[in-house]
Amino acid sequence: MLANGLEAHDGAPAKLTAGGADLADARMVNSMRLVLAVSALLASVTEPHQLHEGVALAGWLFAAYVAHSLCLYGLALQQHPVAQSKLTHWLDVAWYGLFVAVTGDSQSLLFLFFFFAIHVSSFRWGFDEGARVTVAATALFVGTAFFSDPHPDWSRILLRSSFLLALGYISAHWGESKVALNRQLALLRDVSEISNPRFGVDHTMTRVLDKTRAFFKAKSCVLILRDKETGVSHIRSIQAGRSKPSVHAEAISAKTAEPLLALPPHQLVTYRRSRKFITHGSPRSLKTNKPETGIGEHLTDLLEGDAFISAPVSLRRSEGRIYVVTEKTANSKSDALFLSHIVAQAFPVIENIELVDRMATEAASQERQKIALDIHDRAVQPYIGLSLGLSAMRNKAKPDNLLLDDIDKLSTMAQQAVDDLRHYAGTFRPNKGQRNRQEPLYAAALQLQAKQVRALYGVEIAVDAAPNLRINDRMTVEVLQIVREGLSNICRHTLAQFGALRLQRSAGWLHIQIENAGASAPVPAFSPRSITERAASLGGLVRVHSDANGFTSVHIEIPV
Protein backbone atom coordinates (compact mmCIF):
# COMPACT_ATOMS: atom_id res chain seq x y z
CA MET A 1 0.00 0.00 0.00
CA LEU A 2 1.48 3.34 -0.98
CA ALA A 3 -0.14 5.79 1.41
CA ASN A 4 -3.26 6.90 3.15
CA GLY A 5 -5.99 9.00 1.58
CA LEU A 6 -9.43 10.35 1.99
CA GLU A 7 -12.88 10.03 0.53
CA ALA A 8 -15.00 13.14 0.79
CA HIS A 9 -17.93 11.63 -1.05
CA ASP A 10 -18.07 8.35 -2.89
CA GLY A 11 -19.19 7.97 -6.46
CA ALA A 12 -19.39 10.40 -9.32
CA PRO A 13 -19.86 14.10 -8.76
CA ALA A 14 -23.42 15.27 -8.67
CA LYS A 15 -24.78 16.67 -11.87
CA LEU A 16 -25.16 20.42 -12.12
CA THR A 17 -28.89 20.57 -11.43
CA ALA A 18 -28.71 23.64 -9.22
CA GLY A 19 -26.78 25.94 -11.48
CA GLY A 20 -28.28 28.82 -13.38
CA ALA A 21 -27.81 27.13 -16.76
CA ASP A 22 -29.66 24.00 -15.59
CA LEU A 23 -32.54 26.00 -14.18
CA ALA A 24 -32.83 27.74 -17.53
CA ASP A 25 -32.76 24.34 -19.28
CA ALA A 26 -35.50 23.03 -16.99
CA ARG A 27 -37.71 26.03 -17.73
CA MET A 28 -37.07 25.71 -21.47
CA VAL A 29 -37.91 21.98 -21.48
CA ASN A 30 -41.11 22.47 -19.52
CA SER A 31 -42.19 25.40 -21.66
CA MET A 32 -41.60 23.37 -24.85
CA ARG A 33 -43.59 20.49 -23.35
CA LEU A 34 -46.46 22.91 -22.76
CA VAL A 35 -46.22 24.18 -26.36
CA LEU A 36 -46.35 20.60 -27.71
CA ALA A 37 -49.32 19.76 -25.49
CA VAL A 38 -51.28 22.83 -26.61
CA SER A 39 -50.40 22.12 -30.25
CA ALA A 40 -51.69 18.54 -29.96
CA LEU A 41 -54.91 19.76 -28.36
CA LEU A 42 -55.48 22.39 -31.07
CA ALA A 43 -54.79 19.81 -33.79
CA SER A 44 -57.39 17.46 -32.30
CA VAL A 45 -59.95 20.28 -32.34
CA THR A 46 -59.20 21.78 -35.75
CA GLU A 47 -58.38 18.56 -37.63
CA PRO A 48 -60.30 15.75 -35.88
CA HIS A 49 -60.41 13.62 -39.05
CA GLN A 50 -56.64 13.13 -38.77
CA LEU A 51 -57.14 11.00 -35.68
CA HIS A 52 -59.32 8.44 -37.52
CA GLU A 53 -60.52 6.79 -34.30
CA GLY A 54 -61.08 7.82 -30.73
CA VAL A 55 -61.61 11.51 -31.52
CA ALA A 56 -63.48 12.34 -28.32
CA LEU A 57 -61.17 10.32 -26.07
CA ALA A 58 -58.09 11.81 -27.76
CA GLY A 59 -59.39 15.34 -27.14
CA TRP A 60 -59.83 14.66 -23.44
CA LEU A 61 -56.42 12.97 -23.33
CA PHE A 62 -54.71 15.97 -24.94
CA ALA A 63 -56.51 18.31 -22.53
CA ALA A 64 -55.25 16.24 -19.58
CA TYR A 65 -51.71 16.39 -21.01
CA VAL A 66 -51.99 20.18 -21.27
CA ALA A 67 -52.94 20.31 -17.58
CA HIS A 68 -50.02 18.00 -16.73
CA SER A 69 -47.58 20.17 -18.73
CA LEU A 70 -48.94 23.34 -17.13
CA CYS A 71 -48.34 21.92 -13.64
CA LEU A 72 -44.75 20.96 -14.49
CA TYR A 73 -44.15 24.41 -15.98
CA GLY A 74 -45.37 26.04 -12.75
CA LEU A 75 -43.10 23.80 -10.68
CA ALA A 76 -40.17 24.73 -12.94
CA LEU A 77 -40.82 28.43 -12.35
CA GLN A 78 -40.71 27.73 -8.60
CA GLN A 79 -37.47 25.72 -9.04
CA HIS A 80 -39.10 22.62 -7.60
CA PRO A 81 -36.87 19.49 -7.81
CA VAL A 82 -39.68 17.43 -9.38
CA ALA A 83 -39.59 19.59 -12.53
CA GLN A 84 -35.90 18.69 -12.98
CA SER A 85 -36.08 14.99 -12.15
CA LYS A 86 -35.97 11.92 -14.38
CA LEU A 87 -39.61 11.22 -13.61
CA THR A 88 -40.78 13.90 -16.03
CA HIS A 89 -39.49 12.32 -19.24
CA TRP A 90 -40.69 8.86 -18.19
CA LEU A 91 -44.16 10.31 -17.68
CA ASP A 92 -43.88 11.81 -21.16
CA VAL A 93 -43.12 8.38 -22.62
CA ALA A 94 -46.25 7.00 -20.94
CA TRP A 95 -48.37 9.89 -22.26
CA TYR A 96 -47.10 9.42 -25.82
CA GLY A 97 -47.79 5.70 -25.65
CA LEU A 98 -51.39 6.56 -24.74
CA PHE A 99 -51.55 8.96 -27.68
CA VAL A 100 -50.59 6.19 -30.12
CA ALA A 101 -52.94 3.70 -28.45
CA VAL A 102 -55.95 6.03 -28.45
CA THR A 103 -55.61 7.05 -32.11
CA GLY A 104 -55.68 3.37 -33.04
CA ASP A 105 -53.60 3.83 -36.16
CA SER A 106 -50.02 2.74 -36.76
CA GLN A 107 -49.76 5.42 -39.43
CA SER A 108 -50.30 8.26 -36.94
CA LEU A 109 -47.55 10.88 -36.78
CA LEU A 110 -47.99 11.14 -33.01
CA PHE A 111 -45.05 8.74 -32.60
CA LEU A 112 -42.83 11.79 -33.25
CA PHE A 113 -43.64 12.97 -29.73
CA PHE A 114 -41.33 10.23 -28.43
CA PHE A 115 -38.34 12.19 -29.73
CA PHE A 116 -39.04 14.95 -27.21
CA ALA A 117 -38.59 12.54 -24.29
CA ILE A 118 -35.52 10.98 -25.94
CA HIS A 119 -33.80 14.34 -26.47
CA VAL A 120 -34.58 15.59 -22.94
CA SER A 121 -33.28 12.43 -21.26
CA SER A 122 -30.16 12.28 -23.45
CA PHE A 123 -29.03 15.88 -23.16
CA ARG A 124 -29.82 16.21 -19.48
CA TRP A 125 -28.76 12.81 -18.14
CA GLY A 126 -26.39 11.28 -20.66
CA PHE A 127 -26.13 8.14 -22.75
CA ASP A 128 -27.42 5.52 -20.29
CA GLU A 129 -30.66 7.34 -19.55
CA GLY A 130 -31.16 8.32 -23.18
CA ALA A 131 -30.64 4.73 -24.34
CA ARG A 132 -33.13 3.41 -21.78
CA VAL A 133 -35.77 5.92 -22.86
CA THR A 134 -35.10 5.12 -26.55
CA VAL A 135 -35.59 1.38 -26.05
CA ALA A 136 -38.68 1.92 -23.88
CA ALA A 137 -40.23 4.35 -26.37
CA THR A 138 -39.60 2.00 -29.31
CA ALA A 139 -41.04 -1.01 -27.48
CA LEU A 140 -44.06 1.00 -26.36
CA PHE A 141 -44.67 2.31 -29.87
CA VAL A 142 -44.51 -1.15 -31.44
CA GLY A 143 -46.70 -2.69 -28.73
CA THR A 144 -49.41 -0.05 -28.76
CA ALA A 145 -49.46 0.13 -32.58
CA PHE A 146 -49.83 -3.66 -32.79
CA PHE A 147 -52.57 -4.06 -30.18
CA SER A 148 -54.56 -0.90 -31.02
CA ASP A 149 -54.56 -1.28 -34.82
CA PRO A 150 -56.56 -4.28 -36.14
CA HIS A 151 -54.67 -4.11 -39.43
CA PRO A 152 -51.15 -2.98 -38.59
CA ASP A 153 -48.85 -1.88 -41.39
CA TRP A 154 -45.74 -3.85 -40.44
CA SER A 155 -43.48 -2.20 -42.97
CA ARG A 156 -44.39 1.23 -41.62
CA ILE A 157 -44.04 0.09 -38.01
CA LEU A 158 -40.62 -1.43 -38.75
CA LEU A 159 -39.45 1.73 -40.50
CA ARG A 160 -40.63 4.05 -37.71
CA SER A 161 -39.25 1.88 -34.93
CA SER A 162 -35.88 1.74 -36.71
CA PHE A 163 -36.06 5.51 -37.07
CA LEU A 164 -36.71 5.86 -33.32
CA LEU A 165 -33.81 3.57 -32.45
CA ALA A 166 -31.32 5.20 -34.82
CA LEU A 167 -32.04 8.82 -33.95
CA GLY A 168 -32.42 7.90 -30.29
CA TYR A 169 -28.94 6.35 -30.24
CA ILE A 170 -27.43 9.41 -31.93
CA SER A 171 -29.18 11.72 -29.46
CA ALA A 172 -27.98 9.64 -26.50
CA HIS A 173 -24.41 9.67 -27.81
CA TRP A 174 -24.37 13.43 -28.35
CA GLY A 175 -26.13 13.97 -25.06
CA GLU A 176 -23.42 12.02 -23.25
CA SER A 177 -20.82 14.31 -24.84
CA LYS A 178 -22.67 17.36 -23.51
CA VAL A 179 -23.03 15.91 -20.02
CA ALA A 180 -19.35 14.88 -19.96
CA LEU A 181 -18.31 18.35 -21.08
CA ASN A 182 -20.40 19.96 -18.35
CA ARG A 183 -18.80 17.69 -15.74
CA GLN A 184 -15.32 18.49 -17.04
CA LEU A 185 -15.98 22.23 -16.95
CA ALA A 186 -17.40 21.89 -13.44
CA LEU A 187 -14.29 20.05 -12.24
CA LEU A 188 -11.94 22.60 -13.79
CA ARG A 189 -13.92 25.34 -12.08
CA ASP A 190 -13.82 23.47 -8.76
CA VAL A 191 -10.06 22.90 -8.79
CA SER A 192 -9.66 26.63 -9.40
CA GLU A 193 -12.09 27.72 -6.68
CA ILE A 194 -10.78 25.36 -3.98
CA SER A 195 -7.26 26.71 -4.41
CA ASN A 196 -7.74 29.18 -1.54
CA PRO A 197 -4.25 30.23 -0.44
CA ARG A 198 -5.35 30.69 3.16
CA PHE A 199 -5.86 26.93 3.56
CA GLY A 200 -2.30 26.00 2.65
CA VAL A 201 -0.76 23.56 0.20
CA ASP A 202 -1.68 20.28 1.92
CA HIS A 203 -5.38 21.09 2.16
CA THR A 204 -5.56 22.40 -1.41
CA MET A 205 -3.60 19.50 -2.86
CA THR A 206 -5.81 17.01 -1.03
CA ARG A 207 -8.98 18.58 -2.40
CA VAL A 208 -7.65 18.64 -5.98
CA LEU A 209 -6.60 14.99 -5.87
CA ASP A 210 -9.87 13.91 -4.29
CA LYS A 211 -11.97 15.84 -6.84
CA THR A 212 -9.95 14.21 -9.62
CA ARG A 213 -10.41 10.73 -8.13
CA ALA A 214 -14.16 11.24 -7.73
CA PHE A 215 -14.55 12.54 -11.29
CA PHE A 216 -13.01 9.43 -12.81
CA LYS A 217 -14.79 7.16 -10.28
CA ALA A 218 -11.35 5.87 -9.45
CA LYS A 219 -10.06 3.66 -6.67
CA SER A 220 -7.24 6.05 -5.83
CA CYS A 221 -5.32 9.05 -7.07
CA VAL A 222 -1.56 9.15 -6.51
CA LEU A 223 0.81 12.09 -6.99
CA ILE A 224 4.58 11.64 -6.89
CA LEU A 225 6.97 14.58 -7.20
CA ARG A 226 10.77 14.63 -7.25
CA ASP A 227 12.72 17.74 -6.30
CA LYS A 228 14.92 18.83 -9.19
CA GLU A 229 17.71 20.04 -6.91
CA THR A 230 17.89 17.49 -4.11
CA GLY A 231 16.39 14.48 -5.90
CA VAL A 232 14.16 13.70 -2.90
CA SER A 233 10.77 12.23 -3.86
CA HIS A 234 7.46 12.78 -2.06
CA ILE A 235 4.16 11.00 -2.57
CA ARG A 236 0.52 11.77 -1.80
CA SER A 237 -2.27 9.22 -2.17
CA ILE A 238 -6.04 9.71 -2.01
CA GLN A 239 -8.08 6.53 -1.74
CA ALA A 240 -11.81 5.88 -1.86
CA GLY A 241 -13.45 5.09 1.46
CA ARG A 242 -11.02 7.01 3.67
CA SER A 243 -11.64 10.41 5.18
CA LYS A 244 -8.98 12.90 6.24
CA PRO A 245 -9.05 16.71 6.11
CA SER A 246 -5.64 16.82 4.45
CA VAL A 247 -2.92 14.44 3.34
CA HIS A 248 0.68 15.47 3.87
CA ALA A 249 3.44 14.58 1.45
CA GLU A 250 5.47 11.57 2.54
CA ALA A 251 9.12 11.17 1.62
CA ILE A 252 9.96 7.88 -0.12
CA SER A 253 13.23 6.32 -1.12
CA ALA A 254 14.65 6.60 -4.62
CA LYS A 255 14.20 2.85 -5.10
CA THR A 256 10.48 3.07 -4.33
CA ALA A 257 10.01 6.13 -6.50
CA GLU A 258 11.90 4.75 -9.50
CA PRO A 259 9.08 2.61 -11.03
CA LEU A 260 6.53 5.40 -10.53
CA LEU A 261 8.79 7.79 -12.44
CA ALA A 262 9.90 5.30 -15.09
CA LEU A 263 7.21 6.16 -17.66
CA PRO A 264 8.23 8.19 -20.71
CA PRO A 265 8.52 11.85 -19.69
CA HIS A 266 6.14 14.40 -21.18
CA GLN A 267 3.75 11.67 -22.33
CA LEU A 268 0.19 10.78 -21.40
CA VAL A 269 -0.31 7.10 -20.57
CA THR A 270 -3.23 4.71 -20.19
CA TYR A 271 -3.00 1.07 -19.18
CA ARG A 272 -5.48 -1.79 -18.92
CA ARG A 273 -4.45 -5.35 -18.21
CA SER A 274 -6.66 -6.63 -21.02
CA ARG A 275 -5.24 -4.24 -23.65
CA LYS A 276 -1.73 -3.95 -22.29
CA PHE A 277 0.37 -0.80 -22.14
CA ILE A 278 -0.58 2.17 -24.32
CA THR A 279 0.99 5.62 -24.43
CA HIS A 280 -0.61 8.52 -26.19
CA GLY A 281 2.30 10.88 -26.67
CA SER A 282 2.36 14.47 -25.56
CA PRO A 283 -0.88 16.44 -25.06
CA ARG A 284 -0.18 18.26 -28.35
CA SER A 285 0.40 15.10 -30.35
CA LEU A 286 -1.73 12.15 -29.33
CA LYS A 287 -0.42 9.05 -31.05
CA THR A 288 -1.03 5.53 -29.84
CA ASN A 289 1.89 3.18 -29.44
CA LYS A 290 2.60 0.10 -27.37
CA PRO A 291 5.97 -0.21 -25.63
CA GLU A 292 6.91 -3.11 -23.43
CA THR A 293 4.18 -4.26 -21.06
CA GLY A 294 6.44 -5.01 -18.10
CA ILE A 295 6.31 -1.46 -16.75
CA GLY A 296 2.51 -1.39 -16.91
CA GLU A 297 2.14 -4.74 -15.13
CA HIS A 298 4.55 -3.68 -12.41
CA LEU A 299 2.77 -0.34 -11.90
CA THR A 300 -0.71 -1.88 -11.64
CA ASP A 301 0.59 -4.30 -9.02
CA LEU A 302 2.24 -1.46 -7.14
CA LEU A 303 -0.82 0.78 -7.36
CA GLU A 304 -3.19 -2.13 -6.59
CA GLY A 305 -5.53 -1.60 -9.53
CA ASP A 306 -6.48 -3.09 -12.88
CA ALA A 307 -6.08 0.08 -14.95
CA PHE A 308 -4.70 3.59 -14.67
CA ILE A 309 -4.20 6.81 -16.54
CA SER A 310 -1.19 9.01 -15.94
CA ALA A 311 -0.03 12.48 -16.90
CA PRO A 312 3.28 14.25 -16.29
CA VAL A 313 3.52 17.05 -13.73
CA SER A 314 6.22 19.65 -14.26
CA LEU A 315 6.65 22.49 -11.77
CA ARG A 316 9.34 25.06 -11.17
CA ARG A 317 11.19 23.12 -8.48
CA SER A 318 9.91 19.57 -8.99
CA GLU A 319 8.62 17.11 -11.55
CA GLY A 320 6.75 13.85 -11.42
CA ARG A 321 3.50 12.13 -12.35
CA ILE A 322 -0.11 11.84 -11.32
CA TYR A 323 -1.85 8.44 -11.47
CA VAL A 324 -5.59 7.82 -11.46
CA VAL A 325 -6.07 4.15 -10.57
CA THR A 326 -9.33 2.47 -11.59
CA GLU A 327 -10.79 -1.02 -11.52
CA LYS A 328 -11.69 -2.46 -14.94
CA THR A 329 -12.55 0.97 -16.35
CA ALA A 330 -11.97 1.51 -20.06
CA ASN A 331 -9.80 4.60 -19.96
CA SER A 332 -9.37 6.45 -23.25
CA LYS A 333 -7.24 9.08 -24.90
CA SER A 334 -9.76 11.76 -23.96
CA ASP A 335 -9.48 10.79 -20.27
CA ALA A 336 -5.70 11.12 -20.39
CA LEU A 337 -5.94 14.43 -22.20
CA PHE A 338 -8.42 15.82 -19.68
CA LEU A 339 -6.16 14.70 -16.81
CA SER A 340 -3.40 16.80 -18.37
CA HIS A 341 -5.82 19.76 -18.45
CA ILE A 342 -6.46 19.31 -14.71
CA VAL A 343 -2.72 19.31 -14.06
CA ALA A 344 -2.21 22.43 -16.17
CA GLN A 345 -5.09 24.20 -14.41
CA ALA A 346 -4.50 23.37 -10.76
CA PHE A 347 -0.84 22.69 -10.08
CA PRO A 348 0.67 26.03 -11.12
CA VAL A 349 -1.79 27.68 -8.71
CA ILE A 350 -0.76 25.27 -5.96
CA GLU A 351 2.89 26.06 -6.63
CA ASN A 352 2.15 29.78 -6.22
CA ILE A 353 0.34 29.04 -2.96
CA GLU A 354 3.40 27.15 -1.72
CA LEU A 355 5.65 30.08 -2.64
CA VAL A 356 3.42 32.63 -0.91
CA ASP A 357 3.09 30.32 2.11
CA ARG A 358 6.86 30.09 2.38
CA MET A 359 7.18 33.87 2.17
CA ALA A 360 4.48 34.32 4.81
CA THR A 361 6.15 31.81 7.14
CA GLU A 362 9.53 33.51 6.78
CA ALA A 363 7.93 36.90 7.40
CA ALA A 364 6.15 35.52 10.45
CA SER A 365 9.41 34.08 11.76
CA GLN A 366 11.14 37.43 11.40
CA GLU A 367 8.20 39.15 13.12
CA ARG A 368 8.43 36.66 15.98
CA GLN A 369 12.10 37.50 16.47
CA LYS A 370 11.32 41.22 16.36
CA ILE A 371 8.54 40.88 18.94
CA ALA A 372 10.81 38.83 21.21
CA LEU A 373 13.57 41.45 21.00
CA ASP A 374 11.09 44.29 21.61
CA ILE A 375 9.71 42.55 24.68
CA HIS A 376 13.24 42.01 26.01
CA ASP A 377 14.41 45.57 25.35
CA ARG A 378 11.25 47.52 26.26
CA ALA A 379 9.72 45.40 29.01
CA VAL A 380 12.19 42.97 30.52
CA GLN A 381 15.12 45.41 30.88
CA PRO A 382 13.13 48.03 32.86
CA TYR A 383 11.88 45.36 35.25
CA ILE A 384 15.42 44.07 35.66
CA GLY A 385 16.54 47.62 36.46
CA LEU A 386 13.69 47.95 38.95
CA SER A 387 14.65 44.65 40.56
CA LEU A 388 18.29 45.75 40.90
CA GLY A 389 17.21 49.08 42.36
CA LEU A 390 15.02 47.39 44.93
CA SER A 391 17.88 45.04 45.87
CA ALA A 392 20.22 48.01 46.36
CA MET A 393 17.59 49.78 48.48
CA ARG A 394 17.13 46.61 50.53
CA ASN A 395 20.86 46.43 51.24
CA LYS A 396 20.98 50.06 52.38
CA ALA A 397 18.05 49.72 54.74
CA LYS A 398 18.67 49.01 58.41
CA PRO A 399 17.40 45.74 59.91
CA ASP A 400 14.73 47.56 61.94
CA ASN A 401 13.34 49.46 58.92
CA LEU A 402 9.54 49.13 58.77
CA LEU A 403 9.56 49.10 54.92
CA LEU A 404 11.69 45.96 54.57
CA ASP A 405 8.66 43.68 54.12
CA ASP A 406 7.18 45.96 51.45
CA ILE A 407 10.53 46.18 49.63
CA ASP A 408 10.84 42.39 49.66
CA LYS A 409 7.33 42.03 48.21
CA LEU A 410 8.06 44.54 45.46
CA SER A 411 11.34 42.81 44.67
CA THR A 412 9.58 39.43 44.43
CA MET A 413 6.87 40.90 42.17
CA ALA A 414 9.48 42.48 39.90
CA GLN A 415 11.39 39.19 39.59
CA GLN A 416 8.17 37.35 38.86
CA ALA A 417 7.34 39.87 36.14
CA VAL A 418 10.80 39.36 34.61
CA ASP A 419 10.31 35.58 34.59
CA ASP A 420 6.81 35.90 33.03
CA LEU A 421 7.98 38.29 30.32
CA ARG A 422 10.96 36.10 29.46
CA HIS A 423 8.68 33.07 29.17
CA TYR A 424 6.24 35.04 27.02
CA ALA A 425 9.04 36.27 24.75
CA GLY A 426 10.31 32.69 24.47
CA THR A 427 7.00 31.62 22.87
CA PHE A 428 7.91 33.73 19.83
CA ARG A 429 11.31 32.09 19.34
CA PRO A 430 12.09 28.66 17.84
CA ASN A 431 13.04 26.09 20.44
CA LYS A 432 16.75 25.60 20.90
CA GLY A 433 18.04 22.77 18.81
CA GLN A 434 14.76 22.71 16.88
CA ARG A 435 14.94 25.76 14.66
CA ASN A 436 12.52 24.29 12.16
CA ARG A 437 9.80 23.83 14.75
CA GLN A 438 7.90 26.77 16.16
CA GLU A 439 5.23 27.03 18.79
CA PRO A 440 1.78 27.96 17.50
CA LEU A 441 1.54 31.69 17.09
CA TYR A 442 -2.16 31.81 17.88
CA ALA A 443 -1.79 30.56 21.47
CA ALA A 444 0.34 33.46 22.68
CA ALA A 445 -1.54 35.97 20.51
CA LEU A 446 -4.93 34.98 21.95
CA GLN A 447 -3.64 35.33 25.51
CA LEU A 448 -2.22 38.74 24.64
CA GLN A 449 -5.59 39.87 23.22
CA ALA A 450 -7.36 38.67 26.37
CA LYS A 451 -4.92 40.62 28.57
CA GLN A 452 -5.42 43.75 26.50
CA VAL A 453 -9.21 43.48 26.82
CA ARG A 454 -8.90 43.06 30.60
CA ALA A 455 -6.52 46.02 30.90
CA LEU A 456 -8.50 48.41 28.70
CA TYR A 457 -12.11 47.44 29.43
CA GLY A 458 -11.99 45.37 32.62
CA VAL A 459 -13.62 42.39 30.91
CA GLU A 460 -12.33 38.96 31.90
CA ILE A 461 -11.95 36.64 28.89
CA ALA A 462 -11.33 32.93 29.46
CA VAL A 463 -9.28 31.46 26.61
CA ASP A 464 -9.57 27.77 25.70
CA ALA A 465 -7.56 27.06 22.54
CA ALA A 466 -6.84 23.47 21.57
CA PRO A 467 -3.13 22.80 20.98
CA ASN A 468 -3.71 20.74 17.79
CA LEU A 469 -5.44 23.25 15.50
CA ARG A 470 -2.74 22.79 12.83
CA ILE A 471 -3.39 26.05 11.01
CA ASN A 472 -0.75 27.89 9.04
CA ASP A 473 0.37 31.45 9.66
CA ARG A 474 -1.86 32.94 6.96
CA MET A 475 -4.96 31.31 8.42
CA THR A 476 -3.80 32.35 11.88
CA VAL A 477 -3.91 36.01 10.81
CA GLU A 478 -7.53 35.58 9.64
CA VAL A 479 -8.53 33.79 12.85
CA LEU A 480 -6.94 36.45 15.07
CA GLN A 481 -8.77 39.16 13.15
CA ILE A 482 -12.10 37.36 13.66
CA VAL A 483 -11.37 36.98 17.38
CA ARG A 484 -10.38 40.64 17.63
CA GLU A 485 -13.68 41.67 16.03
CA GLY A 486 -15.65 39.43 18.39
CA LEU A 487 -13.93 40.68 21.55
CA SER A 488 -14.33 44.26 20.36
CA ASN A 489 -18.07 43.69 19.93
CA ILE A 490 -18.33 42.41 23.51
CA CYS A 491 -16.53 45.47 24.89
CA ARG A 492 -18.30 48.10 22.79
CA HIS A 493 -21.85 46.75 22.51
CA THR A 494 -22.50 44.90 25.79
CA LEU A 495 -22.22 45.49 29.52
CA ALA A 496 -20.79 42.02 30.15
CA GLN A 497 -17.86 41.69 32.55
CA PHE A 498 -17.07 38.10 31.65
CA GLY A 499 -16.58 36.27 28.36
CA ALA A 500 -15.07 33.14 26.87
CA LEU A 501 -13.17 32.27 23.74
CA ARG A 502 -12.94 28.65 22.56
CA LEU A 503 -11.12 27.25 19.53
CA GLN A 504 -11.09 23.62 18.45
CA ARG A 505 -10.77 21.58 15.27
CA SER A 506 -12.84 18.55 14.30
CA ALA A 507 -13.86 16.77 11.09
CA GLY A 508 -11.97 19.21 8.89
CA TRP A 509 -13.57 22.33 10.41
CA LEU A 510 -12.17 25.01 12.69
CA HIS A 511 -14.74 25.96 15.33
CA ILE A 512 -14.48 29.39 16.99
CA GLN A 513 -16.90 30.21 19.79
CA ILE A 514 -17.04 33.71 21.31
CA GLU A 515 -19.35 34.09 24.34
CA ASN A 516 -20.27 36.84 26.75
CA ALA A 517 -22.23 36.69 29.99
CA GLY A 518 -25.70 38.18 30.11
CA ALA A 519 -26.93 41.30 31.84
CA SER A 520 -30.42 40.02 32.79
CA ALA A 521 -31.93 41.51 29.64
CA PRO A 522 -32.79 39.92 26.31
CA VAL A 523 -30.56 40.72 23.34
CA PRO A 524 -32.18 41.73 20.04
CA ALA A 525 -31.43 39.46 17.09
CA PHE A 526 -28.32 40.53 15.22
CA SER A 527 -25.68 39.30 12.80
CA PRO A 528 -22.05 40.44 13.16
CA ARG A 529 -21.52 41.83 9.66
CA SER A 530 -17.73 42.05 9.65
CA ILE A 531 -17.25 38.57 11.14
CA THR A 532 -19.82 37.09 8.76
CA GLU A 533 -18.15 38.60 5.69
CA ARG A 534 -14.69 37.48 6.78
CA ALA A 535 -15.90 33.93 7.53
CA ALA A 536 -17.74 33.78 4.19
CA SER A 537 -14.55 34.75 2.34
CA LEU A 538 -12.95 31.65 3.91
CA GLY A 539 -15.87 29.42 2.92
CA GLY A 540 -17.26 29.36 6.47
CA LEU A 541 -20.47 30.33 8.20
CA VAL A 542 -21.60 32.15 11.36
CA ARG A 543 -24.42 31.33 13.79
CA VAL A 544 -25.57 33.53 16.69
CA HIS A 545 -27.39 32.21 19.76
CA SER A 546 -28.76 34.28 22.64
CA ASP A 547 -31.19 33.70 25.51
CA ALA A 548 -33.57 35.77 27.60
CA ASN A 549 -30.86 36.60 30.16
CA GLY A 550 -28.65 38.27 27.57
CA PHE A 551 -26.17 35.41 27.21
CA THR A 552 -24.82 35.54 23.66
CA SER A 553 -22.69 33.03 21.77
CA VAL A 554 -21.26 33.51 18.28
CA HIS A 555 -20.24 30.29 16.52
CA ILE A 556 -17.88 30.55 13.54
CA GLU A 557 -17.08 27.47 11.46
CA ILE A 558 -14.31 27.55 8.85
CA PRO A 559 -13.28 24.60 6.65
CA VAL A 560 -9.61 23.73 7.11
Strands 498-506 and 460-465: parallel
Domain membership of residue 382 (yes or no) is no
pLDDT in tens, 394-430: 777 777 777 777 777 777 777 777 776 666 666 655 5
Q: Averaged over 207-228, what is the pLDDT?
A: 87
Instruction: Show which of 289, 324, 353 is a domain's final residue.
Output: 353
Would you state the pLDDT for residue 298?
Answer: 79
Query: Cα separation of 467 and 440, whole Å?
Result: 8
Contacts of 356 (CB under 8 A, 6+ apart): 197, 474
Would you state the pLDDT for residue 160?
Answer: 83
pLDDT at 440 over 80: no
The CATH number for 257's domain is: 3.30.450.40
Q: Which residue has the higher pLDDT, 274 or 165?
A: 165
Range of the domain at 204: 194-353
Q: Which residue has the higher pLDDT, 101 or 288?
A: 101
Under 8 Å between Cβ of 506 and 469: no
Would you state the pLDDT for residue 1?
Answer: 32
Q: Are residues 199 and 108 in the same domain?
A: no
Angle, CA 165 vertex, CA 164 and CA 167 arms, to 5°: 70
If one counts the domains in the chain, the total is 3
Would you state the pLDDT for residue 505?
Answer: 85
Instruction: Show which of 330, 353, 376 is a domain's final residue.
Output: 353
Domain membership of residue 161 (yes or no) is yes
Q: Averaged over 107-122, what is the pLDDT?
A: 82
Would you state the pLDDT for residue 536?
Answer: 85
Strands 285-289 and 276-282: antiparallel
Q: Are residues 163 and 280 in the same domain?
A: no
Q: Averaged over 454-480, what is the pLDDT?
A: 79
Q: Are residues 333 and 472 in the same domain?
A: no
Least confident stretch, 10-14, 45-49, 515-519, 534-538: 10-14
pLDDT at 3 over 80: no
Query: Cα separation of 504 and 493, whole Å?
Result: 26
pTM of the predicted model over 0.75: no
pLDDT level of residue 441 (50, 70, 90 thresholds): low
The CATH number for 466's domain is: 3.30.565.10
pLDDT at 11 over 50: no
Domain membership of residue 309 (yes or no) is yes
Instruction: Show which of 353, 383, 418 is a domain's final residue.
Output: 353
Q: Which residue has the higher pLDDT, 51 or 253?
A: 253
Would you state the pLDDT for residue 521?
Answer: 64
DSSP class of 434: B
Q: Averaged over 425-444, what is the pLDDT?
A: 55
Would you state the pLDDT for residue 422?
Answer: 66
Report the mean per-residue pLDDT for the chain: 76
